[in-house]
């Protein structure tokens, strides 16, 4: 499902998902930069949200989940190398989930952190969504 999303044709990330955990890796490219020649915050958000989202969706196998809210703390600029976001579910109830994610650079230094609230939708997971 992740690989089939049209937005990922442009960003070209890779992902690994296990029970309640997801990891997204992306190679930094100059076309991700803002005017000061470092990665734009849109990429930080994408990686953090994707990792948290798929950590949650790994626990929900019948419907698509939705991001309700997401908070980000960006602590360090990045201009080269790879970025890795790791998301983990920290709370779950019948309808709501809370997940955290951490974004690190090649040196393992945290460059951003995020947390989000996610909920079950009424959209069934199907092959039409790329769900396999």
Instruction: Measure the CA–CA gap between 125 and 132, rounded to whole angstroms.
Output: 9
Whole-angstrom distance, CA of residue 79 vs CA of residue 76: 10
How far apart are alpha carbons 26 and 72 in whole angstroms? 18
> What ranges in 12-127 are assigned the alpha helix state H?
41-57
Q: Please choose, from the candidates 90, 115, 82, 80, the residue with its C-alpha nearest in 3D space to the C-alpha of residue 21.
A: 90
| Domain parsing of the chain, residue ranges | 7-129
Angle at CA 99, nearest 5°, toward 91 and 76?
145
pLDDT tens by residue, 117-131: 999 988 888 766 555
**Rounded percentage of the chain residues whose pLDDT exceeds 70:** 95
Query: Which CATH code, of 3.10.129.10, 2.40.10.120, 3.20.20.70, 3.40.50.1000, is assigned to 7-129?
Result: 3.10.129.10
pTM of the model: 0.92
């Amino acid at each position: 499902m992740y690989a089939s999303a049209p937005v990922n044709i442009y960003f070209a990330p890779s992902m690994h998902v296990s029970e309640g955990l997801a990891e997204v890796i992306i190679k930094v490219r100059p076309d991700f930069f803002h005017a000061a020649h470092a990665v734009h915050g849109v990429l930080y958000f994408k990686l953090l949200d994707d990792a948290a989202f798929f950590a949650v969706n790994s626990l929900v196998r019948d419907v698509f989940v939705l991001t309700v809210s997401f908070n980000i703390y960006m602590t360090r600029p990045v201009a080269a190398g790879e970025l890795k976001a790791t998301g983990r579910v920290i709370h779950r109830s019948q309808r709501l989930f809370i997940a955290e994610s951490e974004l690190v650079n090649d040196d393992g230094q945290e460059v951003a952190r995020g947390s989000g609230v996610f909920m079950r939708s009424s959209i069934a997971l199907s092959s039409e969504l790329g769900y396999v």
